[in-house]
Structures are given as structure tokens and as C-alpha cells.
Structure 1
Amino acid sequence: MNIKFKDYNQQQNWLFPPSIEELIPESHPVRIVNGVIEQLDLRLLIEEYSKDGKPSFHPKMMLKVMVYAYMDNIYSSRKIEKA
């Protein structure tokens, strides 16, 4: 299987400090979402992605965004994008 996704790196550093990781407090609920979704086996979901066309965002990242938005009572895709 050779599916291409856009780069997805939570440990990415900025040109100048701080790193993205440093901006999120240790007790923030997004860390719980991240921990749970990192443990999920998403192979079946990933297999459904097309190998053709432009690379997609990684499904793991998109699932994290959706779960956290729903936890924060944001259901509209436009409001999720704005948040």
C-alpha cells in the first residue's frame, strides 16, 4: 500500500521558540484526545483513502480535530475551521 499524506508532525519546531508542544499546558484536555487516538488502530480507515490525486491530511490528525471539536461542542465545519 502506497498512500501519500501531507506532512503531520506534532513535534515540529518553529523557526523561533517555543515549539507547538510547549504551547499546550500539561493538563489540557487535548492531550487526552491525543493519547487515546494515538492508541487506535486506524489501518482500516487509512486503507479507504485513495492513492490518486493530491496528498490528504493524515486521518489520525483529522480524527483528533473532530473529536476535540465535538468535546468543545463545536459541530459546524466552518466553526471548527475558525477555532
Structure 2
Amino acid sequence: MRNSNLVFKDYTPSQVMLLPPSLEELIEENHPVRVVNAVIDQINVEPLLKQYKPGGTSVYHPRMLLKVLVYGYLTNIYSSRKLEAALKENIHMMWLSAMNRPDHNTIARFR
């Protein structure tokens, strides 16, 4: 016997969005990732910047890498390979890194 009173919410996973949502819209205002972002934005990273040598190819900004490490530790992600995966799969990490995707070797060397 079918229940004709059932009503389901719309579910169309193959539906293409005309404009994808901004990650900014998807992160709650009081989420811990915003706290990490704000705190590290206030930290003087000049000692980190002095470790970099001029010339060569462009590198990831140390402030971004520091945010990724700190937020990773906050969420119990310690492995550089798992951090690399989170940067591709986790919207909070994507937002924090501004969609940058350093690989696990870059993360490990920075650490």
C-alpha cells in the first residue's frame, strides 16, 4: 500500500547551477574556521617571510599555509597527505586557502 501523503524535498543531484554558491555564503558566521582566519591575520608573519629567498618561481603565501596547518590541527588533521586531501574536499579548508591546493610535500616542508 502506498502512502499518497508523502512529500519529498527536491533532490536533483545532476542539476547544474547557473551560478555556483560562493564559499563565503556556505561558511557559518561563527564557525571556528573564521576564528582561525581572523587570529592568524593578526599575527606578525615577518619571521616566516624572512625564511624565503627571492627569485625563482612563485610560492604559496606562508600566512595561508599557517592557517591550513592550524585549522587542520584544530580539526585533528595532522598528516600532510590528509591536509592535502582536505584542501580538495572540505569547504572550510577551501575557503581558508582561497582555493589554493598545496601538495603534501609543500605542506610538510612548510611545517
TM-score, length of structure 2 as denominator length: 0.57
Q: 2:75 aligns with which of 67, 72, 77?
A: 72
Moved beyond 3 Å, runs of 4+: none
CA distance in 1, matches of 2:25, 2:50: 33
Q: Count residues with an aligned counterpart.
A: 69
Q: 2:40 aligns with which of 19, 37, 42?
A: 37
How far off is 1:20 after superposition?
A: 2.6
CA distance in 1, matches of 2:60, 2:26: 22
Partner of 2:21: 18
Structure with the bigger RCO (C-alpha within 8 Å, sep 6+) is 1
C-alpha RMSD of matched pairs (Å): 1.6
Structure 2: runs of 5+ lacking an equivalent: 1-18, 87-111
What's the % identity of the aligned pairs?
Answer: 56
Correspondence 1:50 to 2:53: yes
Q: For residues 32-81 of structure 1, give each alpha carbon's deviation from its aligned partner in whole angstroms, at most 9, with x where no partner exists.
A: 10010000011111111121211110000000000000001111000111
